[in-house]
Amino acid sequence: MRILVTGGLGFAGRAVAARLAGEGHEVTAMTRSPPAAQAPPGVAVARADLLDRAALAQVVGAGRFDAVCHLAALTSVRDSFADPAATWAVNVGGTIALLEAMAGLGHAGAVRLVFASTGAVYGPQAPVPVAEDAPLRPSSPYAAAKEAAERLIGFQAAAGRLAAVTLRVFNVAGAAAGHGDPDGRRLVPAALAAAAGQVSGFALNGDGSVVREFVHVADLADAWLLALDAARPGEHLVLNAGSGVGVSVREVLDTVERVTGRSVPVIRRPPADEPAALVADSGRIRAELGWAPERSSIERIVADAWAARAAQER
């Protein structure tokens, strides 16, 4: 297939693009900024911003794509509170622009779309573990924008314009092909930065008992490949892309210390207003796609992220 990966040189997007190219697909990674590193082998690069409709239409039209993996987004919850309009402009408006560009493809009714949503759409009162049919109660502008984009994609598929799958992604971490997560605000990179002495300490809210789950970025790339195969015209399949294994923040810090052999200094802060636990029920994606997140133990995630960090510092 000819496949466009939006956000294809970001942390998760790069792993997805590389995985698809490795399977023999003709892959183009779309990025709005000059790439900081070379694209994965076999992956072409196209420059366009989701909000530049002319450039976006040019990329989509020229590529004559059979499928789109849509990972481009503003993903910071904190930033979404500071500027909700900007988050919605990209995450909803950009999705609208992409769908409009895809409508120009001659085989639009059969074009496959796999969309990156978030487990945050379930909100702070989500059951543990949370299944796909749980009520959606997003508590941030970021999560609300992702829910809105999900609904739009569902309507577009029902209108016969797409074969769509939404993957509700939880916490992506680890590394693939030597590329780790560059966002130091996220939990695993922040803990590794503290262990490396790059920052004064890890900001720990409360006692570290909050439970989250993590999925290895390479396992996530496998899920994208399987989701493309599962997409059916006129349908919108929604799946949790999570390991289903809960890990407390304290356990993450203990794992970082064990893997790196270094202590993680902690800067203690008051407890945050956040869910005590958010863990995916991953039964549906395992059953429907045959997906098995084999690399998603917290030990493997931390070890791969630490190795990638060390390799980049050489």
CATH number of the domain bearing residue 255:
3.90.25.10
What is the distance between the terminal CA atoms of the chain, rounded to a whole angstrom?
37
Two tokens at 58? 């040019």
Residues 271 and 150 placed together within one structural domain of the fold: no
Q: What is the CA radius of gyration of the chain?
A: 19
Residues 33 and 164 placed together within one structural domain of the fold: yes
Residue 36 has pLDDT above 70, yes or no: no
Is 142 known to be catalytic? yes
Residue 38's pLDDT band (boundaries 50, 70, 90)? confident
Residues 275 and 298 placed together within one structural domain of the fold: yes
Q: What is the DSSP letter of 138?
A: -
Residue 141 has pLDDT above 80, yes or no: yes
Residues of the domain holding 277: 181-212+244-313
Q: The domain spanning residue 223 has which CATH number?
A: 3.40.50.720
Higher pLDDT, 104 or 199: 199
| Cα–Cα dist 163/288, whole Å | 16
Residue 110's pLDDT band (boundaries 50, 70, 90)? confident
pLDDT score for 314: 65
To the nearest whole percent, how much of the chain has pLDDT over 90? 92
Residues 188 and 98 placed together within one structural domain of the fold: no
Residue 105's pLDDT band (boundaries 50, 70, 90)? confident
Residues 188 and 155 placed together within one structural domain of the fold: no
Residues 113 and 197 placed together within one structural domain of the fold: no
Number of domains in the chain: 2
Residues 59 and 106 placed together within one structural domain of the fold: yes
Residue 35 has pLDDT above 80, yes or no: no
Q: Quickly tell me which residue has 């919108």 as its tokens.
A: 236
Element (H, E) at 83: none
Residues 66 and 155 placed together within one structural domain of the fold: yes
Residue 106 has pLDDT above 80, yes or no: no
Residue 272's pLDDT band (boundaries 50, 70, 90)? confident
Element (H, E) at 116: strand 112-118
Give the sheet arrangement for strand 26-31, strand by strand: 43-47, 26-31, 2-6, 67-70, 112-118, 163-169, 236-241
Q: Is the peptide bond before 129 cis (omega within 30 degrees of 0)?
A: yes
Residue 109 has pLDDT above 90, yes or no: no
C-alpha dihedral, 177 to 182 to 187 to 188, nearest 10°? 30
pLDDT score for 237: 98
- Which of 192, 224, 241 is a domain's end point? 241
Residue 108's pLDDT band (boundaries 50, 70, 90)? low
Residues 224 and 301 placed together within one structural domain of the fold: no
Residue 256 has pLDDT above 80, yes or no: yes
Q: How many residues in total does the chain contain?
A: 314
pLDDT score for 274: 82
Which is catalytic among the residues 88, 115, 122, 142? 142
Residues 161 and 251 placed together within one structural domain of the fold: no
Q: What is the DSSP letter of 209?
A: -
| Cα–Cα dist 16/285, whole Å | 17
Residues 88 and 232 placed together within one structural domain of the fold: yes
Residue 251 has pLDDT above 90, yes or no: yes
pLDDT score for 311: 83
pTM: 0.96
Contacts of 203 (CB under 8 A, 6+ apart): 190, 267, 269
Smallest CA-to-CA distance from 102 within 53, 38, 175, 165 is with 53
Residues 168 and 250 placed together within one structural domain of the fold: no
- Which of 225, 241, 257 is a domain's end point? 241
